[in-house]
Every structure is written in C-alpha cells, then in structure tokens.
C-alpha cells in the first residue's frame, strides 16, 4: 500500500517473489498479495512458478529465466516466460510451433544499459522476424534500470527510459492489442514517478 500510494491509480504492480520472496516465503507472500489483488507476480525459475500454482496461486506469473527443459511445464502450468535473447526466444517459439500452440503469453525483455539480459537494439529486427514467424501474445515489454536508487545516475536512468520507449515502440507498432510496458523497480517507484509506464515491479522494496 505504501508503494501504491506513490503510483498513479491506473499503474499496475508486479511483485517479485523470486528466491522465496527474498527469503520471506514465496507462496505465503504470494497468497497475501493475491488477496490484495496485485496484478502480476515475477519469479526467476519455472520451478518457483510451479510451486506457486500448486499452492493455489492463480495470478499471472512471469518467469525471468526459463530454460529449454522447462518449456513443457510453462505451458502445463500457464507460466509466462521472459524472452531475452534471439537463440533463447527462437528455441521457445520453435517449441510452441512443434506443439501447435498459438498466442501463448510471453514477455519481451530489452537491454537498455544493464547489459545482463535482454534484446539489444541491434537484435530488435531479428526479434520482430521471430514474432512474425510464430504468433505469440506479448503480455509486456520491459527493461531494467541500472541505478535508479542513486540520484547521481538519474540522467542515465532517463536515458535508459528514452531508449526503452524507442525500442518498445518498434516492438508493439505492428500489434493489434495493448501491451503492458514496465521499467520501474522498487527505488524508481519511490524516486522516479515519471518512469511508471503501465506497470512497476516491486521486489526488494517489498
């Protein structure tokens, strides 16, 4: 509630409950969040999402680091993978094609400066080609801020946001449905309200 008071009423909230909700107990925390009608949950790996489903959590769940061995489980438990690199995205989309699955929900991660995971600007054309080849339902496009907790880097955070707008515009331009965009993390919710977009991700702040 404290963080939501800093957000626009229409901005959705994703809670990151990876690593057992940072040690607090993932499904216990997730149950409380579900009761309070949070919009999304995020975890690192598919097995974390499976545990949430088995515990009765029905909220949408984004999987940050899906691997090839988890593809069947993602579909079985209705877990939404983060596509973050050409080879990884191609592998998942080929799996969907082989299974005859269309419009499966996914999230697209863009690299705007973290340089950890995410499609670089030079890889966006390849991503767009992959999307044309295999119809999927893009639930969201997102990126990670490098140092949103540090006022000394606010200018860089704004640069990241500008690049995010440019690249996400290219991805969603040809789609005929709305796509959630999010770049704000816990400290950005608190410090940089202009970066809220459609949703914000609350992790360590929670």
For the chain, give the mean pLDDT.
Answer: 92
Copy the structure tokens of residue 86. Answer: 């050409």
Higher pLDDT, 9 or 18: 9
pLDDT tens-digit profile of 105-148?
999 999 999 888 999 999 999 999 998 888 899 999 999 999 99
pLDDT at 114: 86
pLDDT at 132: 87
pLDDT tens-digit profile of 47-80?
999 999 999 999 999 999 999 999 999 999 999 9
Strand order of the β-sheet with 137-142 is 180-182, 137-142, 105-109, 80-83, 61-63, 40-43, 12-16, 199-202
For residues 162-184, give the mean pLDDT: 95
Query: Global pTM?
Result: 0.94
pLDDT at 20: 56
What is the distance in angstroms between the CA of the first residue and the CA of the last residue of the chain?
Answer: 10
Given a cut of 80, is residue 19 above it in pLDDT? no
């Amino acid at each position: 509630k404290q963080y939501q008071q800093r957000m626009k009423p229409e901005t959705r909230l994703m809670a990151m409950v990876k690593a057992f909700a940072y040690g607090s107990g993932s499904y216990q925390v997730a149950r409380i969040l579900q009761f309070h009608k949070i919009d999304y949950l995020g975890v690192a790996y598919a097995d974390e999402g499976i545990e949430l489903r088995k515990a009765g959590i029905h909220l949408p769940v984004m999987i940050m680091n899906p691997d090839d061995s988890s593809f069947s489980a993602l579909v079985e438990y209705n877990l939404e993978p983060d596509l973050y690199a050409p080879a990884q995205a191609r592998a998942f989309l080929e799996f969907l094609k082989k299974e005859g699955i269309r419009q499966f929900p996914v999230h697209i991660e863009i690299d705007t400066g973290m340089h950890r995971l995410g499609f670089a600007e030079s890889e966006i054309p390849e991503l767009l080609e992959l999307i044309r080849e295999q119809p999927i339902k893009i639930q969201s496009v997102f990126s990670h801020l490098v140092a949103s907790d540090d006022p000394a880097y606010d200018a860089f955070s704004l640069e990241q946001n500008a690049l995010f707008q440019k690249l996400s515009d290219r991805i969603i331009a040809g789609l005929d449905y709305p796509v959630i965009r999010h770049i704000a993390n816990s400290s950005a919710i608190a410090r940089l309200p202009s970066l809220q977009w459609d949703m914000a991700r609350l992790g360590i702040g929670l």
